[in-house]
Amino acid sequence: MSLNYKIENCDQVTESSLYETFSSNPTFFYLDSKQTTGESDSWSFMGVDPIFSVESKNNEVCITSSFFKIGAFSLNVDTSVKEVIDKSLVDLKINDQSQIPFLGGWICALSYEWLCKTSQGGIFKESLSNQSPETECFFSFYNEIYAINKNESSIYRITIEREAIVRWVNKQIETQYKREGIQGNNFIDTDGQRNSLISKLNSSTASETHNDNTTQSGSTKDAFNKESLRSNFSKPDYVERVKNVKSRIKEGDIYQANFTQKFSAEINGNLEDVYPSIREKLEMPFGALIKYGDETILSTSPERFIKIDGLTILTSPIKGTIKSDIEKKKDDKNRAELISSKKNRAELLMITDLERNDLGQVCKMGTVHVTKLIQLESFAYLHHLVSHIKGTLKEDLTIMDVILSMSPGGSITGAPKKKAIEILSQLETCPRRWYTGSLGYIGLNKKCELNIGIRIMYTKNGVAFFHAGGGVVSDSEPELEWEESMLKASVFLDLINDA
């Protein structure tokens, strides 16, 4: 089924007015690219009120929607998340004539544990001792979004015909009722979308034009209870566990592993209130704020997991980190130190090879190439070493096939991947959840872009959580590994301590 869609140029709105209008909505998403990452066009996307969502929780898959005829509803289905997404991309299509990469479709968040359990036929499942009863992944279907072109400072409203999508999901629900022998009619309402984005924007005082194209700066004062800040490891504990990883390397079990710690702090407000302040300070090619259920996920990640455009796929692993400095002489010294670091170069080379092999499983023979090897990329707060690997996908694979073949990313697990996951699960003591999982979009135009959540804060029940760590190799110095972990956590540590 080919769906109709409409693109409207929105001259009277700004990115900040969109954010102010929609960010308090419990179904808000904002995929936010503040930096161009060297590409010809850089885009951000925003929206609220998905027609429905598919989630996995406690090993059960369900369809949820706020548009069911009898209020909010959740229906368990006897199928996998992958099957639902695959079927939607076959049955619902857009004949794409636009240069906008995402025209509507799935906004998703995939936890580290879900990726481990479902990827590559579940071969990592037995390696994973840490489990969470919380939501493991969700895919929310948005038929109405705003697309912001960062290079041109232009904004477009995109609307995909709602009726055909509702008919499709209602057919899936009806099929499930028949399987269970249930006489049900609690389907998604086929009437018009209750409150379209444009009507909400027009009725809001936030629709007044602002002079800038960025979200307005919010205050972080008193946003967190700094006295409540905790890590699941003390410094001696962290150092001892790094030594444990090194001993496993010496024994020949692994070559490298990405060991992490988990922080928590009480939050007095909402992440959507502090996000503008974070965004003002940082350059974020894969920033995001996504609200789902009773959780909010904030990303300041600089790392691309995969980008799919047609049959072309790109992955960009990061390894090696050093602090940036406002004083040019010190910053130049830091940059030179990172580029010349034998340890970091060896670590990234190892992960580049791992990702090249992962791509080789889903790409046509002879098409996988490292286009940029160990390149310095700079962001606010930090400099990183990055590689870029590209290939041409096999034509018989779905986007979900690719995601689950590539997951979890080698840069946040280790090598060999399966054994590294097992060792990390034993040492880290708690689930990573959204940290080192993935956020992004899968469009009905068969385009996809996902990050790796290496700079993630998420909130639930008045508590904010975030993680940080680093790759451990044979010549790692445990004390320096702890310092690197604290450096990577500094974005959020500074936010809390300055509150």
Nearest Cα to Cα of residue 322 among 382, 386, 260, 378: 382
Tell me, yes or no, if 319 is annotated catalytic: yes
SS (H, E, C) 286-327: EEEEEEECCEEEEEEECCEEEEEECCEEEEECEEEEEECCCC
Distance between CA atoms of 425 and 430, rounded to whole angstroms? 8
For residue 54, what are its two tokens?
A: 């598919």
Give me the pLDDT at residue 35, please: 56
Nearest Cα to Cα of residue 464 among 236, 252, 268, 178: 268
Give me the pLDDT at residue 199, please: 61
3-state secondary structure of 165: helix
**One-letter amino acid for residue 198 of the chain:** I
Give me the pLDDT at residue 207, please: 41
* Options 15, 113, 144, 303, the catalytic residue: 303
Kindly give the parts of the chain with pLDDT less than 50. Answer: 37, 205-217
Query: Tens digits of per-residue pLDDT, 312-352?
Result: 999 999 888 888 888 888 888 989 999 998 888 988 998 89
Give me the pLDDT at residue 70, please: 66
> What domains appear along the chain, each with residue ranges and CATH number?
5-203+224-497 (3.60.120.10)
Give me the pLDDT at residue 239, please: 97
* Options 319, 417, 447, 488, the catalytic residue: 319
Tell me, yes or no, if 303 is annotated catalytic: yes
Give me the pLDDT at residue 433, please: 96
Task: Say whether pTM exceeds 0.85.
Answer: yes
